[in-house]
Structure 1
Amino acid sequence: MPEAPLTSARIAVTEDDDELRELLVSELAERGFQAVGFASAEALYRHLAVQSCDIVLLDIGLPGEDGYAVARHLHQIASVGIVMLTARGKSDDMARGLSTGADLYLVKPVDMDVLAAGIASLRRRLSSSERITAAEPTPRWALVAGGWKLRTPDGVELSLGEAERVFLRMLLEQPGEPVDRERLIAGMTESPADFDPHRLEVLLHRLRQRVRAASGHALPLRAVRGIGYLWLHEGG
């Protein structure tokens, strides 16, 4: 079996079919890639919050957030290659996938040698781009002005209310780790028992809208089902 060049690439295989996901991870690992598998977008986001990768191999028909939305979000928050691998082979599906951020669009079933070659080719292109931009500092999200403003990676500053300030500060203090709702509520009020938990969802919804309207950025924050909320960027 031929070995693909640049096989040290780290691949995040995001596929909800357990059997196919295990097969893809196994086949890529046999070719020397560092491959790990995830069954949902949420699992992928939690991984990326604490561990970077080079390429995301992405199914479209995921539970919850579909592959189109995942590609769009990844394109905004992370420097990764995106390979869509899906059973949807129509031209409009392909056009939609590429327009939402996919670098490569492949249709199932796919020959593993073709997939490996495509990944290696994409990794070469990404490596060339990385060398060009290696000297440039990585922009970060940050709380400034004593925590009363949120600064986006391109320098836009958004004024925060007291509840937003506390909410974001607690999340940015431990990026990549979920903060439970009870802890957030306790930090935002002196009377947690009287605080309606739905106010957190409203606060986050309005904050997302304000950030997008002011800067065009998607807030790199995710709800973690049954727990609380997660800030996706290392270092804030």
Structure 2
Amino acid sequence: MLGAARHLAEAVPVRRPPAPAEDRRTGVVVLEDDDALREHILLPGLQDFGFDVVGAASAGGLYRAMLERGFDLAVLDIGLPDESGLSVVAHLRKVSPRMGVVMLTANRERDDQVRALSHGADAFLRKPVDIEVLALTLRNLAQRLAGVEASGPREPAAPAGRWRLQSDGWCLASPEGRVVPLTASERSVMRALDARRGHAVAREALIAALVQDVDAFDPHRLEMLMHRLRRKAAGIAGAGEALPLRAARGVGYLLAG
């Protein structure tokens, strides 16, 4: 059965018509046999960071998913019920050489890392994996595969030494090109602020970018989101690179120009 699925996966995958660059989400397939980890942590977590994610519980499930569509990236567990994740990545290298592959394992042994990378994996992360770290690893890998030159977690420096959103809005780049991956909520707020850079944006307008029912939204959640954005940016920023996200008293917030 697995052999048949493998054979079919070698056919050209069915692809949907390309979406506009700004709307197209990077396609990721997650191969993880732990149902709770896959369905309740990895899939919703990566979806929140803007990826178009499909899950599979076995190697056979992965190959069947590849029949339905093409994927840009794969996240693979090493220990699987029907086939080693190491043989899966070796197979993917043959049938989809342009697919980026990140391996996951709960094993702390160095040998797993060496074997995964030698089989063709692009990156290796240990469980329990931080979703933000995984999202940034996938973003960097997608950029590199798309031909964006980078040195570590960087992209070309922002113009005139300022922070900016990447073209698809899912990452925030510092003046030195360091990258912060954004969740769906953070992306919505940053796009609203960036559209009126240098001008105060009312709290109500920012909340409206997050939810439909503005009156049912707790304003403290907006304050917490802004605090989290500043903290995330500070975690990757160099000296003198603080994100110019400021509170406008009595109005809302502004992103300085």
The TM-score, its normalising length taken from structure 1, stands at 0.51
Alignment partner for residue 128 of structure 2, among 98, 109, 115? 109
Structure 1 equivalent of residue 30 of structure 2: 13
Any idea what SS the aligned residue of 2:117 has?
helix
Identity of matched residues, %:
46
Secondary structure of the equivalent of 1:128?
A: coil
- Contact 1:6–1:120 (Cα < 8 Å) also in 2: no
Counterpart-to-counterpart distance in 1, 2:32 and 2:23:
23
| 1:61 and 2:44 correspond | no
Gaps of 5+ in 1: 130-236
Q: Distance in 1 between matches of 2:28 and 2:113?
A: 21
Q: How does 1:24-103 map to 2 (within 5 A)?
A: 24-78=42-96, 79-103=98-122
Deviations along 1:41-63, one digit per CA (max 9) or x if unpaired, are 00100111231001010000111
Q: Is the 8 A contact 1:13 1:38 kept in 2?
A: yes
Total equivalences in the alignment: 125
2: CA distance between counterparts of 1:50 and 1:115? Answer: 25
CA RMSD, 1 decimal = 1.8
Paired residue for 2:141, among 107, 116, 122?
A: 122
Structure number with the bigger relative contact order (C-alpha 8 A, sep ≥ 6) is 1
TM-aligned CA distance change 1:29 to 1:89, over 3 Å = same
Q: For 1:96 and 1:125, how far apart are their aligned partners in 2?
A: 22
How far is the alpha carbon of 1:7 from its aligned partner? 8.3
Unpaired runs of 5+ residues, structure 2, are 1-21, 149-257
What is the identity, as a one-letter code, of the residue corresponding to 2:147?
A: S
| Structure-2 change in CA distance of 1:59 and 1:7 (3 Å) | farther
SS at match of 2:62: helix
Q: Deviations over 1:60-91 (max 9, x none)?
A: 01111110000000011112111001112321
**1:29: Cα distance to partner?**
0.4
Change over 3 Å in CA distance of 1:89–1:6 after alignment to 2: farther
Q: What is the rounded CA distance, in whole Å, between the counterparts of 2:138 and 2:50 in structure 1? A: 12
Would you identify which runs of 4 or more consecutive aligned residues in structure 1 move more than 3 Å?
none
Q: Distance in 1 between matches of 2:103 and 2:63?
A: 17
Q: TM-score, normalised by structure 2?
A: 0.47
